[in-house]
């Protein structure tokens, strides 16, 4: 089976970000299947070029995984209008690049952004192959909820494209149970939507990983470390984190460490300086292969999003990695993620946007090391039972084989 995936935000293990599709490609190899990826030549988190091209695309090989890096206009970290222009540039270049690949059995598109999913549909239609639509976030609803999509014409166009893709996909794969409910409510047949959570690599993220060298590197040997690892964008509500850190400035043993990059990073760093937050460290980006050590250096790990209704439907991938590493999660997201943390007894929920309660909770946990340790143990035990990525990828393989009649 040969699968073509179009994903502008694909990340290799040598880059910062989520490597789920690389792991999927590696999982398929022993079964004799190949996942070929058409990706952009920019890292979505940093906005930096990942490869030098001489033509429309450059081909890379990561441990046997074939990746075709094609052109995208470099405007991901500018305004949202320019970001849409960037998305459109990849939409057109990815179609041309995808058509250079010889025989494929199935075409897979992923959203957001939704425009690249249209590219995948078009390539599948031209080749008369099944089209699997993977929905990782509910776009454009997230953009509307955050207020970044305001133009009625653009919103109508985006929602029309969403309906178009739902109707024409051979099948839809979602990573949150709430996404499946959303689509069924939109009129998508229930049998057309499959929910498979991403889970975590339980051998990569493991309690036995030693993060002490990173603590030494950052001067945090005797500190209570609150880690945030991920994008620094508008959706992530890092401002609430900064306000909580401001409340805890007098606590000499508590430090906030942020690993990641994104459009909001320069503003957030400037705001932290303005507030005099010597207890907050912007630690930059690390490739995915270094993230187990980063998570292992933490006492508790933070997942946070803006307080908008649509974010109650999402499962942040970082939470699964935190759980696999045996770390307690401070969850500042309501909805299905809260249900996961409460079912696992693997962390503490804090109302989104409430920096006072967040600060008080962190202070309380810093004085309860045994409780923190137990929360982390509970989290890993639950993840091993329900969200081991090997099991999730096996379910994905079964779906792929069903769609290609293998």
Query: Does the pLDDT value for residue 249 go beyond 70?
Result: yes
Residue 69 lies in a domain: yes
Q: Please name which of 37, 29, 27 lies closest in space to residue 3, comparing C-alpha atoms.
A: 37
Each residue's pLDDT tens digit, 292-350: 999 999 999 999 999 999 999 998 889 999 999 999 999 999 999 999 999 999 999 99
Clarify whether residues 23 and 169 are in a common domain.
Answer: yes
Q: Is 297 left (phi over 0), alpha (psi -120 to 50) or beta?
A: alpha
Q: How many domains does the chain have?
A: 2
Q: Which two tokens stand for residue 325?
A: 């590493």
Residues 348 and 336 in one domain: yes
Asked whether residue 205 is assigned to any structural domain, the reply reads no
Please work out, in degrees rounded to the nearest 5, the angle formed at the alpha carbon of residue 58 by the alpha carbons of 52 and 63: 105
pLDDT category of residue 80 using cuts at 50, 70 and 90: low
| Residue 143 CA: distances (Å) to CA of 146, 247, 333 | 5, 30, 17
* Residue 52 predicted with pLDDT over 90: no
Is position 350 within any domain?
yes
Please give the residue range of the domain that contains residue 325: 212-386
Q: Mean pLDDT across the chain, nearest whole number?
A: 93
Peptide bond into 113 cis (omega under 30): yes
Assess whether 91 and 219 both reside in one domain: no
CATH of the domain at 356: 3.40.50.2000
Residue-level pLDDT at 47 = 73
Q: Are residues 129 and 31 in the same domain?
A: yes
Structure tokens given for 300: 């508790």
pLDDT exceeds 70 at position 48 = yes
Same domain, 19 and 160: yes
Distance CA 29, CA 2 (A): 10
Residue 184 sits in the same domain as residue 258: no
47 located within any domain: yes
Mean pLDDT of 366-375: 98
Task: Judge if 155 and 288 occupy the same domain.
Answer: no
* Euclidean distance between CA atoms 114 and 142, whole angstroms: 12
Grouping H, G, I as helix, E, B as strand and the rest as coil, residue 339 is: helix
The answer to whether residues 382 and 392 belong to one domain is: no
Asked if 104 and 235 sit in the same domain, the reply is: no
More confident call, 17 vs 221: 221
Residue 404 neighbours by CB under 8 Å, 6+ apart: 1, 105, 106, 130
More confident residue, 287 or 45: 287
Same domain, 117 and 71: yes
Is 242 part of any domain?
A: yes
* Cβ contacts of 337 within 8 Å, gap of 6 or more: 303, 314, 315, 316, 319, 331
Residue 157 pLDDT > 70, yes or no?
yes
Angle, CA of 315, 225 and 323, to the nearest 5°:
30
pLDDT digits (tens, 9 = 90+) for 349-367: 999 999 999 999 999 999 9
Within-domain flag for 72: yes
| 139 & 252 share domain | no
Domain membership flag for residue 227: yes
CB under 8 Å to 255, separation ≥6 — which residues?
220, 223, 224, 225, 226, 279, 280, 281
Residue-by-residue DSSP string for 183-208? HHHTT--GGGEEE----B-TTTS-TT
- Neighbouring residues of 81: CB distance < 8 A, sequence distance ≥ 6: none
For tokens 């031209």, the residue is 126
Report the C-alpha gap between 47 and 72 in whole angstroms: 11
Q: What percentage of the chain has pLDDT greater than the value 70?
A: 99
Whether 206 maps to a domain, the answer reads: no
- Residue 18 and residue 58 in one domain: yes
């Amino acid at each position: 089976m040969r699968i073509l995936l179009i994903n502008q935000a694909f990340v290799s293990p040598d880059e910062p970000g989520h490597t789920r599709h690389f792991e999927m490609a590696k999982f398929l190899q022993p079964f004799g299947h190949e996942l070929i990826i058409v990706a952009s030549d920019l890292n979505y988190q940093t906005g930096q070029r990942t490869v030098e091209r001489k033509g429309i695309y450059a081909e890379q090989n990561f441990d046997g995984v074939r990746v075709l890096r094609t052109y995208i206009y470099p405007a991901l970290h500018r305004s949202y209008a320019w970001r849409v222009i960037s998305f459109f540039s990849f939409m057109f270049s990815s179609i041309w690049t995808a058509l250079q690949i010889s025989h494929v059995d199935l075409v897979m598109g992923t959203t957001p952004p939704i425009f690249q999913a249209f590219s995948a549909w078009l390539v599948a239609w031209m080749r008369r192959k099944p089209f699997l639509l993977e929905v990782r976030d509910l776009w454009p609803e997230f953009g509307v909820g955050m207020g970044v999509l305001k133009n009625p014409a653009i919103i109508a166009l985006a929602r029309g494209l969403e309906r178009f893709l739902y109707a024409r996909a051979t099948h839809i794969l979602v990573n949150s149970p709430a996404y499946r409910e959303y689509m069924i409510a939109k009129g998508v047949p229930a049998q057309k939507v499959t929910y498979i959570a991403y889970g975590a690599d339980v051998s990569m993220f493991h309690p036995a990983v030693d993060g002490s060298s990173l603590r030494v590197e950052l001067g945090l040997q005797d500190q209570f470390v609150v880690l945030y690892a991920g994008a620094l964008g508008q959706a992530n509500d890092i401002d609430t984190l900064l306000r909580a850190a401001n409340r805890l400035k007098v606590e000499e043993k508590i430090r906030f460490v942020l690993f990641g990059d994104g459009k909001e990073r320069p503003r957030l760093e400037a705001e932290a300086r303005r507030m005099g937050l010597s207890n907050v460290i912007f630690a930059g980006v690390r490739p995915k292969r270094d993230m187990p050590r980063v998570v292992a250096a933490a006492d508790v790990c933070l997942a946070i999003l803006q307080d908008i209704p649509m974010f109650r439907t999402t499962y942040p991938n970082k939470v699964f990695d935190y759980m696999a590493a045996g770390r307690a999660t401070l969850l500042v997201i309501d909805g299905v993620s809260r249900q996961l943390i409460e079912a696992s007894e693997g962390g503490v929920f804090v109302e989104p946007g409430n920096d006072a309660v967040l600060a008080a909770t962190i202070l309380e946990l810093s004085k309860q090391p045994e409780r923190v340790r137990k929360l982390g143990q509970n989290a890993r035990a639950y993840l091993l039972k329900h969200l081991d990525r090997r099991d999730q990828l096996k379910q994905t393989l079964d779906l792929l084989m069903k769609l290609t009649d293998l």
